Structure 1
Amino acid sequence: MMRFDLSDEEWAVIEPLLPNGGRGPQRVDDRRVLNGIFYILRTGAPWRDLPERYGPRTTVYNRYARWARRGIWKAIFDGLAEHSGDSLFFIDSSIVKAHRAAAGAKGGNAQDIGRSRGGRTTKVHAVVDERGRPRRFIITGGQVHDGQVLPDLLKDAGAPLAVVADKAYGSRAIRQIIADDGALAVIPSKSNARDLIPHDAGLYKMRNIVERFFCTMKDMRRLATRFEKLSRNFLAMIHIFAIRLWIN
Protein backbone atom coordinates (compact mmCIF):
# COMPACT_ATOMS: atom_id res chain seq x y z
CA MET A 1 0.00 0.00 0.00
CA MET A 2 1.29 3.46 -0.95
CA ARG A 3 1.37 6.15 1.74
CA PHE A 4 -1.47 8.10 0.10
CA ASP A 5 -3.78 5.09 -0.07
CA LEU A 6 -6.77 4.39 2.14
CA SER A 7 -6.14 1.94 4.96
CA ASP A 8 -8.58 -0.91 5.49
CA GLU A 9 -9.98 0.94 8.51
CA GLU A 10 -10.52 4.15 6.52
CA TRP A 11 -12.10 2.26 3.65
CA ALA A 12 -14.54 0.56 6.03
CA VAL A 13 -15.77 4.01 7.12
CA ILE A 14 -16.09 5.61 3.70
CA GLU A 15 -17.35 2.71 1.59
CA PRO A 16 -20.96 2.77 2.92
CA LEU A 17 -21.20 6.49 2.08
CA LEU A 18 -20.34 6.06 -1.61
CA PRO A 19 -23.12 6.04 -4.23
CA ASN A 20 -23.96 2.65 -5.67
CA GLY A 21 -23.03 1.89 -9.23
CA GLY A 22 -26.57 1.70 -10.56
CA ARG A 23 -27.27 0.20 -13.96
CA GLY A 24 -24.80 -0.10 -16.78
CA PRO A 25 -21.23 -1.39 -16.98
CA GLN A 26 -19.46 -2.05 -13.70
CA ARG A 27 -17.37 0.99 -12.81
CA VAL A 28 -13.68 0.88 -11.98
CA ASP A 29 -13.02 -0.06 -8.35
CA ASP A 30 -13.93 2.87 -6.09
CA ARG A 31 -11.07 2.33 -3.69
CA ARG A 32 -8.51 2.41 -6.46
CA VAL A 33 -10.01 5.59 -7.91
CA LEU A 34 -10.18 7.32 -4.53
CA ASN A 35 -6.56 6.46 -3.87
CA GLY A 36 -5.68 8.13 -7.17
CA ILE A 37 -7.60 11.26 -6.22
CA PHE A 38 -5.87 11.38 -2.83
CA TYR A 39 -2.54 11.10 -4.66
CA ILE A 40 -3.36 14.17 -6.76
CA LEU A 41 -4.63 16.05 -3.70
CA ARG A 42 -1.47 15.43 -1.68
CA THR A 43 1.17 15.81 -4.38
CA GLY A 44 -0.44 18.50 -6.53
CA ALA A 45 0.63 16.55 -9.61
CA PRO A 46 -1.11 17.21 -12.94
CA TRP A 47 -3.75 14.60 -13.77
CA ARG A 48 -1.68 13.48 -16.76
CA ASP A 49 1.08 12.40 -14.34
CA LEU A 50 -1.16 10.11 -12.29
CA PRO A 51 0.69 6.78 -11.78
CA GLU A 52 -0.73 3.85 -13.73
CA ARG A 53 -1.38 1.84 -10.56
CA TYR A 54 -4.49 3.99 -9.98
CA GLY A 55 -5.99 3.13 -13.34
CA PRO A 56 -6.61 5.28 -16.42
CA ARG A 57 -6.18 8.94 -15.52
CA THR A 58 -9.28 9.88 -17.51
CA THR A 59 -11.35 7.46 -15.43
CA VAL A 60 -10.02 8.88 -12.15
CA TYR A 61 -10.47 12.50 -13.24
CA ASN A 62 -13.93 11.93 -14.69
CA ARG A 63 -15.10 10.26 -11.47
CA TYR A 64 -13.78 13.18 -9.42
CA ALA A 65 -15.33 15.82 -11.70
CA ARG A 66 -18.64 14.00 -12.13
CA TRP A 67 -19.06 13.53 -8.38
CA ALA A 68 -18.18 17.22 -7.89
CA ARG A 69 -20.89 18.19 -10.38
CA ARG A 70 -23.43 15.96 -8.62
CA GLY A 71 -22.52 17.20 -5.14
CA ILE A 72 -21.43 13.74 -3.98
CA TRP A 73 -18.19 14.82 -2.31
CA LYS A 74 -20.08 17.37 -0.22
CA ALA A 75 -22.75 14.79 0.64
CA ILE A 76 -20.10 12.34 1.88
CA PHE A 77 -18.47 15.11 3.93
CA ASP A 78 -21.82 16.19 5.39
CA GLY A 79 -22.61 12.59 6.29
CA LEU A 80 -19.42 12.37 8.33
CA ALA A 81 -19.54 15.84 9.89
CA GLU A 82 -23.14 15.64 11.09
CA HIS A 83 -22.18 13.17 13.81
CA SER A 84 -19.94 15.63 15.65
CA GLY A 85 -21.22 16.46 19.11
CA ASP A 86 -18.61 19.12 19.80
CA SER A 87 -19.85 22.39 21.24
CA LEU A 88 -17.24 24.95 20.12
CA PHE A 89 -16.89 26.40 16.63
CA PHE A 90 -13.75 28.17 15.41
CA ILE A 91 -14.03 30.35 12.31
CA ASP A 92 -11.39 31.83 10.04
CA SER A 93 -10.34 32.13 6.42
CA SER A 94 -7.20 31.60 4.38
CA ILE A 95 -6.05 32.90 1.01
CA VAL A 96 -5.06 30.45 -1.73
CA LYS A 97 -3.20 31.78 -4.74
CA ALA A 98 -4.64 30.76 -8.10
CA HIS A 99 -2.22 29.15 -10.57
CA ARG A 100 -2.41 30.32 -14.16
CA ALA A 101 -3.96 26.93 -14.97
CA ALA A 102 -7.02 28.01 -12.96
CA ALA A 103 -7.69 30.93 -15.30
CA GLY A 104 -9.88 30.92 -18.36
CA ALA A 105 -13.02 29.16 -17.16
CA LYS A 106 -16.35 30.46 -18.40
CA GLY A 107 -17.94 32.64 -15.77
CA GLY A 108 -14.99 34.80 -14.72
CA ASN A 109 -15.73 36.11 -11.23
CA ALA A 110 -18.39 33.44 -10.81
CA GLN A 111 -15.55 30.97 -10.33
CA ASP A 112 -14.51 32.66 -7.04
CA ILE A 113 -11.16 33.94 -8.23
CA GLY A 114 -10.66 37.55 -7.22
CA ARG A 115 -7.84 40.01 -6.76
CA SER A 116 -6.24 40.72 -3.40
CA ARG A 117 -2.76 41.67 -2.21
CA GLY A 118 -1.57 38.24 -3.30
CA GLY A 119 -2.74 38.71 -6.89
CA ARG A 120 -5.37 36.32 -8.28
CA THR A 121 -6.66 34.47 -5.25
CA THR A 122 -9.47 32.42 -3.76
CA LYS A 123 -10.40 32.66 -0.09
CA VAL A 124 -11.38 29.53 1.84
CA HIS A 125 -13.71 30.21 4.77
CA ALA A 126 -14.04 27.39 7.30
CA VAL A 127 -15.77 26.33 10.49
CA VAL A 128 -13.93 23.73 12.56
CA ASP A 129 -14.84 22.12 15.86
CA GLU A 130 -12.78 21.92 19.04
CA ARG A 131 -10.96 18.85 17.73
CA GLY A 132 -9.93 20.66 14.57
CA ARG A 133 -12.40 18.78 12.38
CA PRO A 134 -14.05 20.83 9.62
CA ARG A 135 -17.80 21.38 9.71
CA ARG A 136 -18.48 23.68 6.78
CA PHE A 137 -16.70 25.53 3.96
CA ILE A 138 -17.42 28.41 1.63
CA ILE A 139 -15.08 29.74 -1.05
CA THR A 140 -15.08 33.28 -2.42
CA GLY A 141 -12.82 35.59 -4.33
CA GLY A 142 -9.81 36.61 -2.28
CA GLN A 143 -11.03 40.20 -1.87
CA VAL A 144 -14.25 39.27 -0.04
CA HIS A 145 -14.39 40.39 3.61
CA ASP A 146 -14.71 37.61 6.16
CA GLY A 147 -17.70 39.19 7.88
CA GLN A 148 -19.80 39.08 4.71
CA VAL A 149 -19.63 35.31 4.64
CA LEU A 150 -20.32 34.43 8.27
CA PRO A 151 -24.14 34.15 8.09
CA ASP A 152 -23.95 31.61 5.27
CA LEU A 153 -20.95 29.90 6.86
CA LEU A 154 -22.84 29.19 10.08
CA LYS A 155 -26.00 28.11 8.27
CA ASP A 156 -26.56 24.36 8.71
CA ALA A 157 -23.17 23.98 10.44
CA GLY A 158 -24.77 22.91 13.72
CA ALA A 159 -25.68 24.44 17.07
CA PRO A 160 -22.55 25.35 19.04
CA LEU A 161 -22.41 26.76 22.54
CA ALA A 162 -19.76 29.27 21.47
CA VAL A 163 -18.29 30.69 18.25
CA VAL A 164 -14.64 31.77 18.45
CA ALA A 165 -13.29 34.17 15.83
CA ASP A 166 -10.89 37.09 15.43
CA LYS A 167 -11.59 40.83 15.21
CA ALA A 168 -12.58 40.65 11.55
CA TYR A 169 -15.87 39.15 12.74
CA GLY A 170 -16.34 41.67 15.55
CA SER A 171 -19.23 43.76 14.22
CA ARG A 172 -22.41 44.10 16.24
CA ALA A 173 -24.40 42.56 13.40
CA ILE A 174 -22.30 39.40 13.48
CA ARG A 175 -22.46 39.19 17.26
CA GLN A 176 -26.24 39.44 17.01
CA ILE A 177 -26.41 36.64 14.43
CA ILE A 178 -24.41 34.39 16.75
CA ALA A 179 -26.57 35.35 19.74
CA ASP A 180 -29.76 34.68 17.75
CA ASP A 181 -28.47 31.15 17.20
CA GLY A 182 -28.17 30.75 20.97
CA ALA A 183 -24.36 30.77 21.01
CA LEU A 184 -21.78 32.86 22.83
CA ALA A 185 -19.61 35.09 20.62
CA VAL A 186 -15.97 34.84 21.71
CA ILE A 187 -14.62 37.69 19.61
CA PRO A 188 -12.32 40.51 20.76
CA SER A 189 -13.43 44.06 20.06
CA LYS A 190 -11.76 45.99 17.27
CA SER A 191 -9.11 48.44 18.45
CA ASN A 192 -11.17 51.42 17.25
CA ALA A 193 -14.42 50.22 18.83
CA ARG A 194 -16.26 52.81 20.89
CA ASP A 195 -17.42 50.24 23.42
CA LEU A 196 -15.16 47.31 24.26
CA ILE A 197 -17.08 44.06 24.59
CA PRO A 198 -15.51 41.51 26.96
CA HIS A 199 -14.74 38.01 25.70
CA ASP A 200 -13.57 34.74 27.24
CA ALA A 201 -9.78 34.99 26.94
CA GLY A 202 -9.32 31.30 27.77
CA LEU A 203 -11.53 30.17 24.90
CA TYR A 204 -9.98 32.71 22.55
CA LYS A 205 -6.53 31.23 23.16
CA MET A 206 -7.86 28.03 21.58
CA ARG A 207 -8.35 29.83 18.26
CA ASN A 208 -5.09 28.37 16.98
CA ILE A 209 -7.13 25.20 16.39
CA VAL A 210 -8.49 26.71 13.17
CA GLU A 211 -5.07 28.14 12.26
CA ARG A 212 -3.54 24.66 12.57
CA PHE A 213 -6.36 23.30 10.42
CA PHE A 214 -5.40 25.63 7.58
CA CYS A 215 -1.74 24.67 7.96
CA THR A 216 -2.73 21.02 7.54
CA MET A 217 -4.95 21.88 4.60
CA LYS A 218 -2.07 23.58 2.82
CA ASP A 219 0.11 20.53 3.27
CA MET A 220 -2.08 19.28 0.43
CA ARG A 221 -0.34 20.78 -2.58
CA ARG A 222 -3.56 20.81 -4.57
CA LEU A 223 -4.99 23.15 -1.92
CA ALA A 224 -1.87 25.22 -1.21
CA THR A 225 -2.32 26.52 -4.76
CA ARG A 226 -5.55 26.50 -6.73
CA PHE A 227 -5.25 24.66 -10.04
CA GLU A 228 -8.95 24.00 -10.70
CA LYS A 229 -10.72 26.32 -13.12
CA LEU A 230 -14.19 25.60 -11.74
CA SER A 231 -15.25 26.61 -8.25
CA ARG A 232 -17.15 23.38 -7.74
CA ASN A 233 -14.05 21.33 -8.54
CA PHE A 234 -11.84 23.31 -6.16
CA LEU A 235 -14.46 23.08 -3.42
CA ALA A 236 -14.68 19.34 -4.12
CA MET A 237 -10.93 19.05 -3.48
CA ILE A 238 -11.45 20.78 -0.13
CA HIS A 239 -14.26 18.39 0.74
CA ILE A 240 -12.12 15.40 -0.26
CA PHE A 241 -9.39 16.63 2.08
CA ALA A 242 -11.99 17.09 4.83
CA ILE A 243 -13.33 13.58 4.26
CA ARG A 244 -9.85 12.18 4.78
CA LEU A 245 -9.55 14.08 8.06
CA TRP A 246 -12.84 12.71 9.30
CA ILE A 247 -12.07 9.07 8.51
CA ASN A 248 -8.45 9.19 9.67
Structure 2
Amino acid sequence: MIATETRGGHKPREVGDGLWERIEPLLPVIERRLRSPVRRRLDDRRVPCGLLFVLSTGIPWRYLPQELGFGSGMTCWRRLRDGNEAGVRQRLHEMLLAEQRAAGIRDPSRASVDSSHLRAMKGGAATGPAPVDRGKTGSNHHVIVEAHGIPLAATLTGGNRNDVTQLIPLVRAVPPIRGKGGQPLRRPKRLHADRGYDHESHRDQIRRFEVTPHIARRGTEHGSGLGVYRWVVEGAIALLHWFRRLRIRWEVRDDIHQAFITLGCTVICWRRLRTPL
Protein backbone atom coordinates (compact mmCIF):
# COMPACT_ATOMS: atom_id res chain seq x y z
CA MET A 1 0.00 0.00 0.00
CA ILE A 2 2.99 2.27 0.42
CA ALA A 3 4.81 1.37 -2.79
CA THR A 4 4.52 4.21 -5.24
CA GLU A 5 4.56 3.61 -8.95
CA THR A 6 4.62 5.65 -12.12
CA ARG A 7 4.57 5.08 -15.88
CA GLY A 8 5.54 1.70 -17.20
CA GLY A 9 3.86 -0.19 -14.38
CA HIS A 10 4.32 2.40 -11.65
CA LYS A 11 1.12 4.02 -10.39
CA PRO A 12 1.26 6.53 -7.52
CA ARG A 13 -0.52 5.41 -4.39
CA GLU A 14 -1.45 7.11 -1.16
CA VAL A 15 0.22 6.41 2.15
CA GLY A 16 -2.30 4.19 3.93
CA ASP A 17 -4.11 5.27 7.09
CA GLY A 18 -2.28 2.70 9.20
CA LEU A 19 1.16 3.96 8.25
CA TRP A 20 0.16 7.62 8.45
CA GLU A 21 -1.17 7.14 11.99
CA ARG A 22 2.37 6.07 12.94
CA ILE A 23 4.17 8.81 11.00
CA GLU A 24 2.09 11.83 12.00
CA PRO A 25 2.95 11.92 15.74
CA LEU A 26 6.68 11.78 14.90
CA LEU A 27 6.73 14.83 12.63
CA PRO A 28 8.21 18.04 14.05
CA VAL A 29 5.62 20.70 14.86
CA ILE A 30 5.86 23.68 12.51
CA GLU A 31 4.26 26.91 13.69
CA ARG A 32 1.91 28.21 11.01
CA ARG A 33 2.10 31.94 10.30
CA LEU A 34 -1.47 32.77 9.31
CA ARG A 35 -0.65 36.23 7.99
CA SER A 36 2.52 35.26 6.17
CA PRO A 37 2.56 36.31 2.49
CA VAL A 38 4.27 33.07 1.43
CA ARG A 39 2.23 30.31 -0.14
CA ARG A 40 0.54 27.69 2.01
CA ARG A 41 2.71 24.87 3.35
CA LEU A 42 2.27 21.53 1.56
CA ASP A 43 0.14 19.03 3.48
CA ASP A 44 2.45 16.79 5.53
CA ARG A 45 0.68 13.65 4.32
CA ARG A 46 1.56 14.39 0.68
CA VAL A 47 5.30 14.53 1.34
CA PRO A 48 5.78 10.84 2.26
CA CYS A 49 4.02 9.97 -1.00
CA GLY A 50 6.58 12.04 -2.91
CA LEU A 51 9.51 10.55 -0.99
CA LEU A 52 8.29 7.00 -1.64
CA PHE A 53 7.80 7.89 -5.30
CA VAL A 54 11.42 9.04 -5.59
CA LEU A 55 12.65 6.04 -3.58
CA SER A 56 10.77 3.53 -5.74
CA THR A 57 11.34 5.03 -9.19
CA GLY A 58 14.74 6.68 -8.73
CA ILE A 59 13.44 9.76 -10.54
CA PRO A 60 15.58 12.94 -10.16
CA TRP A 61 14.15 15.46 -7.72
CA ARG A 62 13.64 18.09 -10.41
CA TYR A 63 11.48 15.71 -12.47
CA LEU A 64 9.05 14.83 -9.68
CA PRO A 65 5.62 15.30 -11.36
CA GLN A 66 3.82 18.10 -9.51
CA GLU A 67 0.51 17.08 -11.07
CA LEU A 68 0.56 14.09 -8.71
CA GLY A 69 0.17 16.49 -5.78
CA PHE A 70 3.44 15.64 -4.06
CA GLY A 71 4.81 19.17 -4.28
CA SER A 72 8.10 20.11 -5.92
CA GLY A 73 11.18 17.97 -5.72
CA MET A 74 12.93 20.68 -3.70
CA THR A 75 10.09 20.69 -1.16
CA CYS A 76 10.32 16.92 -0.74
CA TRP A 77 14.13 17.12 -0.49
CA ARG A 78 13.91 19.71 2.29
CA ARG A 79 11.32 17.64 4.19
CA LEU A 80 13.54 14.56 3.85
CA ARG A 81 16.50 16.54 5.21
CA ASP A 82 14.51 18.06 8.08
CA GLY A 83 12.85 14.76 8.97
CA ASN A 84 16.21 13.02 8.97
CA GLU A 85 17.71 15.65 11.28
CA ALA A 86 14.71 15.26 13.59
CA GLY A 87 15.12 11.47 13.61
CA VAL A 88 11.64 10.81 12.20
CA ARG A 89 12.51 7.84 10.00
CA GLN A 90 14.76 6.23 12.61
CA ARG A 91 12.05 6.45 15.28
CA LEU A 92 9.46 5.09 12.84
CA HIS A 93 11.74 2.16 12.08
CA GLU A 94 12.19 1.44 15.79
CA MET A 95 8.43 1.72 16.35
CA LEU A 96 7.73 -0.89 13.66
CA LEU A 97 10.38 -3.21 15.09
CA ALA A 98 8.70 -2.93 18.50
CA GLU A 99 5.30 -3.75 16.97
CA GLN A 100 6.80 -6.78 15.27
CA ARG A 101 8.23 -7.98 18.56
CA ALA A 102 4.85 -7.50 20.27
CA ALA A 103 3.19 -9.50 17.47
CA GLY A 104 5.76 -12.31 17.77
CA ILE A 105 7.03 -11.79 14.22
CA ARG A 106 10.68 -11.19 15.07
CA ASP A 107 13.18 -13.91 15.95
CA PRO A 108 15.84 -12.36 18.23
CA SER A 109 17.86 -15.55 18.52
CA ARG A 110 20.22 -14.78 15.63
CA ALA A 111 21.21 -12.10 13.16
CA SER A 112 23.19 -11.94 9.92
CA VAL A 113 25.31 -9.21 8.35
CA ASP A 114 26.44 -8.50 4.80
CA SER A 115 27.16 -5.60 2.46
CA SER A 116 26.56 -4.55 -1.12
CA HIS A 117 28.35 -2.10 -3.40
CA LEU A 118 26.76 0.62 -5.51
CA ARG A 119 28.27 3.25 -7.77
CA ALA A 120 28.25 6.89 -6.57
CA MET A 121 27.77 8.97 -9.70
CA LYS A 122 28.46 12.39 -8.12
CA GLY A 123 30.97 11.49 -5.41
CA GLY A 124 30.56 13.12 -2.03
CA ALA A 125 30.99 12.02 1.57
CA ALA A 126 31.15 8.27 2.34
CA THR A 127 32.44 7.38 -1.13
CA GLY A 128 35.73 5.94 -2.32
CA PRO A 129 37.48 4.01 -5.10
CA ALA A 130 35.86 0.59 -5.14
CA PRO A 131 38.19 -2.38 -5.78
CA VAL A 132 35.18 -4.41 -6.97
CA ASP A 133 34.36 -1.79 -9.65
CA ARG A 134 37.78 -1.08 -11.21
CA GLY A 135 38.49 1.71 -8.77
CA LYS A 136 35.45 3.79 -9.70
CA THR A 137 33.85 5.95 -7.03
CA GLY A 138 31.23 4.09 -5.04
CA SER A 139 29.65 3.40 -1.66
CA ASN A 140 28.75 0.32 0.35
CA HIS A 141 25.49 -0.53 2.08
CA HIS A 142 26.06 -2.55 5.26
CA VAL A 143 23.00 -4.33 6.66
CA ILE A 144 22.20 -6.41 9.74
CA VAL A 145 18.96 -8.42 9.84
CA GLU A 146 17.25 -10.77 12.28
CA ALA A 147 16.50 -14.43 11.55
CA HIS A 148 13.59 -13.69 9.15
CA GLY A 149 15.42 -11.01 7.17
CA ILE A 150 13.85 -7.97 8.84
CA PRO A 151 16.41 -5.12 8.71
CA LEU A 152 17.57 -4.02 12.15
CA ALA A 153 20.08 -1.38 11.03
CA ALA A 154 21.94 -0.26 7.92
CA THR A 155 24.99 1.97 7.47
CA LEU A 156 26.74 3.70 4.59
CA THR A 157 30.50 3.81 3.92
CA GLY A 158 32.86 4.49 1.05
CA GLY A 159 33.34 1.77 -1.54
CA ASN A 160 36.93 1.24 -0.39
CA ARG A 161 36.01 0.27 3.18
CA ASN A 162 36.45 -3.38 4.07
CA ASP A 163 33.36 -5.23 5.31
CA VAL A 164 34.98 -6.26 8.58
CA THR A 165 35.45 -2.62 9.63
CA GLN A 166 31.66 -2.26 9.84
CA LEU A 167 30.92 -5.40 11.85
CA ILE A 168 31.08 -3.73 15.27
CA PRO A 169 29.36 -0.47 14.12
CA LEU A 170 26.48 -2.56 12.75
CA VAL A 171 26.04 -4.43 16.02
CA ARG A 172 26.13 -1.15 17.93
CA ALA A 173 23.63 0.41 15.50
CA VAL A 174 20.90 -2.11 16.42
CA PRO A 175 18.39 -0.03 18.42
CA PRO A 176 16.81 -1.16 21.71
CA ILE A 177 13.61 -2.90 20.63
CA ARG A 178 10.63 -2.69 22.94
CA GLY A 179 7.18 -4.14 22.42
CA LYS A 180 6.98 -6.38 25.49
CA GLY A 181 7.42 -5.96 29.20
CA GLY A 182 10.87 -5.96 30.75
CA GLN A 183 14.12 -4.75 29.30
CA PRO A 184 14.16 -3.93 25.56
CA LEU A 185 16.06 -6.32 23.32
CA ARG A 186 19.37 -4.96 22.06
CA ARG A 187 21.57 -7.82 20.85
CA PRO A 188 20.94 -11.12 19.08
CA LYS A 189 22.23 -14.31 20.67
CA ARG A 190 24.16 -15.42 17.58
CA LEU A 191 25.66 -13.51 14.66
CA HIS A 192 26.30 -15.06 11.23
CA ALA A 193 28.70 -13.63 8.64
CA ASP A 194 30.74 -14.70 5.62
CA ARG A 195 34.53 -14.83 5.17
CA GLY A 196 34.74 -11.10 4.61
CA TYR A 197 34.27 -10.62 8.36
CA ASP A 198 36.87 -13.20 9.43
CA HIS A 199 39.10 -11.56 12.03
CA GLU A 200 39.86 -12.83 15.54
CA SER A 201 39.91 -9.40 17.17
CA HIS A 202 36.39 -8.74 15.89
CA ARG A 203 35.23 -12.14 17.14
CA ASP A 204 36.49 -11.17 20.59
CA GLN A 205 34.67 -7.85 20.45
CA ILE A 206 31.44 -9.57 19.38
CA ARG A 207 31.71 -11.90 22.38
CA ARG A 208 32.00 -8.86 24.67
CA PHE A 209 28.47 -7.95 23.54
CA GLU A 210 27.42 -11.42 24.82
CA VAL A 211 26.83 -12.50 21.22
CA THR A 212 28.20 -15.76 19.81
CA PRO A 213 29.91 -15.17 16.44
CA HIS A 214 29.48 -17.70 13.63
CA ILE A 215 31.85 -16.42 10.94
CA ALA A 216 33.23 -18.51 8.09
CA ARG A 217 37.02 -18.71 8.03
CA ARG A 218 39.24 -17.75 5.14
CA GLY A 219 41.22 -20.49 3.47
CA THR A 220 38.61 -23.17 4.13
CA GLU A 221 36.47 -24.87 1.53
CA HIS A 222 33.00 -23.57 0.84
CA GLY A 223 30.20 -25.46 2.50
CA SER A 224 30.48 -24.14 6.06
CA GLY A 225 26.70 -24.50 6.43
CA LEU A 226 26.24 -20.85 7.43
CA GLY A 227 24.40 -20.14 4.19
CA VAL A 228 21.32 -21.77 5.73
CA TYR A 229 21.12 -18.76 8.04
CA ARG A 230 22.85 -16.06 5.98
CA TRP A 231 20.61 -16.10 2.92
CA VAL A 232 18.08 -13.86 4.68
CA VAL A 233 20.46 -10.86 4.70
CA GLU A 234 21.14 -11.32 0.99
CA GLY A 235 17.38 -11.33 0.44
CA ALA A 236 17.00 -8.13 2.50
CA ILE A 237 19.69 -6.38 0.43
CA ALA A 238 17.91 -7.50 -2.75
CA LEU A 239 14.68 -5.97 -1.40
CA LEU A 240 16.48 -2.72 -0.60
CA HIS A 241 17.89 -2.58 -4.12
CA TRP A 242 14.42 -3.15 -5.53
CA PHE A 243 14.07 0.55 -4.73
CA ARG A 244 15.74 2.17 -7.70
CA ARG A 245 17.05 5.09 -5.65
CA LEU A 246 19.24 2.63 -3.74
CA ARG A 247 20.74 0.89 -6.78
CA ILE A 248 22.87 3.89 -7.77
CA ARG A 249 23.82 6.69 -5.42
CA TRP A 250 22.97 10.12 -6.83
CA GLU A 251 23.14 12.08 -3.56
CA VAL A 252 26.30 14.04 -2.81
CA ARG A 253 25.29 14.33 0.84
CA ASP A 254 25.70 11.05 2.70
CA ASP A 255 23.00 11.93 5.25
CA ILE A 256 20.39 12.20 2.49
CA HIS A 257 21.32 8.79 1.06
CA GLN A 258 21.36 7.33 4.58
CA ALA A 259 17.83 8.70 5.02
CA PHE A 260 16.76 6.83 1.89
CA ILE A 261 18.33 3.62 3.25
CA THR A 262 16.44 3.98 6.53
CA LEU A 263 13.25 4.72 4.60
CA GLY A 264 13.75 1.54 2.55
CA CYS A 265 14.25 -0.50 5.74
CA THR A 266 11.08 1.03 7.16
CA VAL A 267 9.07 0.06 4.08
CA ILE A 268 10.28 -3.54 4.37
CA CYS A 269 9.36 -3.62 8.08
CA TRP A 270 5.90 -2.20 7.40
CA ARG A 271 5.19 -4.76 4.68
CA ARG A 272 6.32 -7.59 6.96
CA LEU A 273 4.12 -6.26 9.76
CA ARG A 274 1.10 -6.19 7.47
CA THR A 275 1.90 -9.57 5.92
CA PRO A 276 3.66 -11.74 8.54
CA LEU A 277 5.33 -15.00 7.62
Q: CA deviation at 1:15?
A: 3.0
Q: CA deviation at 1:74?
A: 2.6
Q: CA deviation at 1:47?
A: 0.9
Letter in 1 for 2:107: D
Question: Which ranges in structure 2 are unaligned for 5 or more consecutive residues?
Answer: 2-10, 34-39, 175-185, 272-277
In structure 2, the partner of 1:114 is 128
Q: Which has the higher helix share?
A: 1
In structure 1, the partner of 2:37 is none
Deviations 1:50-81 (Å, cap 9, x if unpaired)?
12221233322211122234443333323333
Question: Which ranges in structure 1 are unaligned for 5 or more consecutive residues?
Answer: 106-110, 194-198
1:6-155 alignment runs, 5 A limit: 6-16=15-25, 18-25=26-33, 27-52=41-66, 53=68, 54-82=70-98, 84=101, 85-87=106-108, 88-99=110-121, 102-103=122-123, 105=124, 111-117=125-131, 118=133, 119-155=136-172
Secondary structure of the structure 1 residue equivalent to 2:45: helix
Q: Is the 8 A contact 1:186 1:204 kept in 2?
A: no
Q: Is the 8 A contact 2:28 2:86 kept in 1?
A: no
Letter in 2 for 1:116: A
Which protein, 1 or 2, shows the higher relative CO under an 8 Å CA cutoff with sep ≥ 6?
Answer: 1
Equivalents in 2 of 1:3, 1:211: separation in Å? Answer: 28
In structure 1, the partner of 2:266 is 243
Deviations 1:24-68 (Å, cap 9, x if unpaired)?
347422221100000000100011111222123332221112223
The alpha-carbon distance between structure 1 residues 82 and 148, as it changes in their structure 2 partners (threshold 3 A), is: farther
Query: Aligned-residue CA RMSD in angstroms?
Result: 2.4
Percentage of pairs with the same residue: 26
Letter in 2 for 1:64: L
Deviations 1:158-202 (Å, cap 9, x if unpaired)?
210110110111211121122221122121221169xxxxx7x3x
TM-score when scaled to structure 1? Answer: 0.85
From 208, 220, 238, give the equivalent of 1:180: 208
Letter in 2 for 1:140: T
Of stretches 232-241 and 6-15 in structure 1, the one that deviates more from structure 2 is 6-15
